[in-house]
Chains A and B, each alone.
Chain A
Amino acid sequence: MSQGLLSDAFLISLIAGAVAAGVPLLLAGLGEQVSEKAGVLNIGIEGMMLFGAYAGFATAFGTNSLWLGFLAGAAAGLVMAMLMALFCVRLGLNQIVIGIALTLGADGITALLHHVQFSRTYPRLPRVETLDIPGLSEIPIIGPSLFARHPMVYIAVFLVLVLAYLFRNTHVGLNLQAAGDKPDALDAAGISVTATRTWSVLFTGVMAGMGGAYMAMIGAGIFVPFMTGGAGFIAIVLAMLARGRPIWVLIGAFLFGASLSLTTALQVGGVNVPTDVVQMLPFLMVMIVLVLFARRASLPAALGLPYVRGQR
């Protein structure tokens, strides 16, 4: 251990990796939080992220613009979410069956498209331009890893504040909560449960798609089939444990991001651990957190149940 575990190189690599791996989780987790609040358990989020990752990468590769990539990723997530909203919210079909279907479909379609377009060349995107925040980005260690990033990172963190305000101080937040906890009451108050849930699912799709796009365009710089590897499911857990508070999604996302990026950081720090062991870390962390805080993980009462007016 010539470099040591607490060396600057290790810490910079760990924090930078935590941000790179955490931002997709943050975006998707915030999206999932909104739809869970409204009572839709969005198992299809894994597929939305993956489709977003593909669309984002393909667009950024074709146009050389990350912003267009994000737009395409959001649109891809939105298309998947429209299917989800149509089947699960409008028609009241089983949310889990449709969720699995969307994920399998995205797995298959993106892998086929990747095969047709990129499998011979495996193109990479160039390194991303960063937006250095003056002053802050010069702090040793945390400066370069936290304050010299692509603007999307700052936007994601800003969204945490926006959502926190939305949930706490606005009618929209109350409506969302009611749609998940007591849809009858929301209906009785004259607000459409179907519309509230539809918008929340669409929002989730956009967020998950952008999260996937970030993962492919900035996190990895390349699209490979099945690259989300369970990140969508981790986002679901994040939303579950955050109990409706966006700030906890932020904290959770970066903790999970850190454990995802630990392999590289450990190698930089001079420690060699089998990748399979490190790959277990995020999932192990979820289980430990669930065991420790099992009683506190709370979900809306009407989560996963389609709303049919007048039915008990």
Chain B
Amino acid sequence: MTHAPTAHEERLAPGATALRHWAMPIAAALLPIVLALGVGALILLVLGADPGAFYYHIVRRGLLSWIGLQDTITRCAPLLLLGASLIVAFRAGLWNLGVDGQFLLAAVISAALAPALVTVLPVWLVLPLVMVVAMAVGAVWSLLPALLKAYYGVNEIVTTLMMSFLGISAANVLIKLPFDDPTTTVPQTETLATDDRLPRLFGSTINVGVIVSLAVILFIHWLMTRTSFGLRLRLVGANPRAAVHVGLPLGALMVAVFALSAGLAGLAGSVEILGVWGNVRADWNPAYGLMIIPLVFLARFNGIAVIGFVFFFAVLSIGGETASRKAGLPNYFILVLVALMLIFLALTEWLGQRRQMAARD
């Protein structure tokens, strides 16, 4: 049974309570992952794959090989920005489930804009400029759901999802028609030369986008937890009536939340293109958004915890590609793992609440 530590206990073992203070949340966050990996192992057995080998290849490729580790760290950049995007929305109690559309549309605009701009402007100016435009594209794509939610009370879950599907199709239309590079056979945008992409760090394949993303997510964490602006945004979610009561412009704040959240999703798309790919091919859609949602929940909307979970997920996704190939399975197994984690997360959360209630009684 957990119970509040008494003064006596505190005196006897101050280290133990501090340990409990830190260990409990970490254990609560790791438990769902361990359970998911366990059930995942059973599913792998059913599919005729060796779970031990599967998980071993994930770790070896995603974490222990230098090439794989660079890929993993590079993969973190868009995921961290999407995490920051979702933290803003979820802390404000709004469901931005349309990050995939915002991400992809901004990615396509970045891919079209950057190669065209480098011919007239210096690269150091083009890259930030394109990122700003990408943020604006993402924000604009969220405007309609934001206004519908803010002024007509239309459920944003549905509208952001619809806009996401629209954005994904619109991105493909843009790639195939106006932005199509006529010199390639498959429909894709023009390619940004490797020298003009985001600068790489210390001779590795990791680009500066990771640093930007880390800075952004730490800033967002600080913004949402330590500033009065963040408090206002959180009040929108926690108690909209109270927000109106103290004279906060609820509608404007909701639009701001969506613009910030979708802008960050747009930035994620831009960083992925400017840093890694250099162009967008038709029907490319990594669909990171739905995967990041559970991670942000696992981290309980804490930006610093999201960094840890994103790194874990990046290892899983980079290593999973190799492990799946070796096991002769498609890469979809990672989807199953994420789903299992979500369910176990929700269950541990529930058990934690029950224990708290029991302790109170």
Chain A residues at the B interface, C-beta cutoff of 8 Å: 41, 43, 83, 87, 91-94, 96-98, 100-105, 107-109, 111-112, 115-116, 119, 225, 230, 233, 236-237, 240, 274, 276-277, 279-280, 283-284, 286-287, 290-291, 294-295, 297, 299
> Shortest 4 CB-CB distances between A and B: which pairs?
A108-B335, A105-B339, A101-B342, A108-B336
**CB within 8 A of A111: which of B148, B290, B335?**
B335
Known: A87-B346, A111-B335, A280-B166. A105 touches B173 (CB 8 A): no
**CB within 8 A of B294: which of A97, A107, A111, A237?**
A97
**Residues of chain B within 8 A of A284, CB atoms compared:** 166
For the complex formed, measure the closest distance between the CB of B115 and the CB atoms of chain A, giving whole angstroms.
22
**Residues of chain A within 8 A of B161, CB atoms compared:** 230, 233
A-B contact pairs, 15 of them (CB 8 A): A91-B347, A91-B350, A92-B350, A93-B346, A94-B297, A100-B290, A104-B290, A105-B343, A225-B332, A230-B165, A274-B177, A276-B170, A276-B176, A291-B148, A297-B154
For the complex formed, measure the closest distance between the CB of B231 and the CB atoms of chain A, giving whole angstroms.
23
For the complex formed, measure the closest distance between the CB of B4 and the CB atoms of chain A, giving whole angstroms.
23
**CB within 8 A of A291: which of B144, B176, B291, B297?**
B144
Smallest CB gap from B166: residue in A: A283
For the complex formed, measure the closest distance between the CB of A155 and the CB atoms of chain B, giving whole angstroms.
28
**Residues of chain B within 8 A of A93, CB atoms compared:** 346-347, 349-350
**CB within 8 A of B340: which of A105, A287, A299?**
A105
Q: What is the CA–CA distance of A299 and B334 in the complex, to the nearest angstrom?
A: 34
For the complex formed, measure the closest distance between the CB of A252 and the CB atoms of chain B, giving whole angstroms.
13
**CB within 8 A of B346: which of A94, A290, A299?**
A94
The A-contacting residues of B in range 12-35, CB under 8 angstroms, are none
**A294 and B342 within 8 A (CB):** no
Known: A93-B347, A93-B349, A276-B173. A294 touches B332 (CB 8 A): no
Smallest CB gap from A236: residue in B: B158
SS class, residues of chain B in contact with chain A: helix
**Residues of chain B within 8 A of A291, CB atoms compared:** 144, 148
Known: A109-B336, A112-B47, A283-B166. A101 touches B346 (CB 8 A): yes
The A-contacting residues of B in range 308-356, CB under 8 angstroms, are 329-330, 332-340, 342-343, 345-347, 349-350
For the complex formed, measure the closest distance between the CB of A22 and the CB atoms of chain B, giving whole angstroms.
18
**Residues of chain A within 8 A of B201, CB atoms compared:** none
**Residues of chain A within 8 A of B170, CB atoms compared:** 276, 280
For the complex formed, measure the closest distance between the CB of B160 and the CB atoms of chain A, giving whole angstroms.
10
Known: A236-B158, A286-B162. A111 touches B332 (CB 8 A): yes
For the complex formed, measure the closest distance between the CB of A150 and the CB atoms of chain B, giving whole angstroms.
28
**Residues of chain A within 8 A of B95, CB atoms compared:** 96
| Chain B: interface size category | 35 or more
Chain B residues at the A interface, C-beta cutoff of 8 Å: 43, 47-48, 95, 144, 148, 152, 154-155, 157-159, 161-163, 165-166, 169-170, 172-173, 176-177, 290-291, 293-294, 297, 329-330, 332-340, 342-343, 345-347, 349-350
**A104 and B154 within 8 A (CB):** no
For the complex formed, measure the closest distance between the CB of B168 and the CB atoms of chain A, giving whole angstroms.
9
Smallest CB gap from A280: residue in B: B169
**Residues of chain A within 8 A of B290, CB atoms compared:** 100, 103-104
Q: What is the CA–CA distance of A92 and B350 in the complex, to the nearest angstrom?
A: 8
**B335 and A98 within 8 A (CB):** no
Smallest CB gap from A119: residue in B: B330
For the complex formed, measure the closest distance between the CB of A223 and the CB atoms of chain B, giving whole angstroms.
14
**Residues of chain B within 8 A of A287, CB atoms compared:** 144, 159, 162-163, 166
Q: What is the CA–CA distance of A291 and B346 in the complex, to the nearest angstrom?
A: 34
Known: A111-B335, A280-B166. A274 touches B340 (CB 8 A): no
Known: A276-B173, A291-B148. A100 touches B294 (CB 8 A): yes
**Residues of chain B within 8 A of A236, CB atoms compared:** 158
For the complex formed, measure the closest distance between the CB of B146 and the CB atoms of chain A, giving whole angstroms.
13
Known: A290-B159, A291-B148. A101 touches B339 (CB 8 A): yes
For the complex formed, measure the closest distance between the CB of B350 and the CB atoms of chain A, giving whole angstroms.
5
Q: What is the CA–CA distance of A56 and B43 in the complex, to the nearest angstrom?
A: 21
**A104 and B339 within 8 A (CB):** yes
For the complex formed, measure the closest distance between the CB of A285 and the CB atoms of chain B, giving whole angstroms.
9
For the complex formed, measure the closest distance between the CB of A278 and the CB atoms of chain B, giving whole angstroms.
9
**A115 and B173 within 8 A (CB):** no
**A107 and B162 within 8 A (CB):** no
Smallest CB gap from A98: residue in B: B346
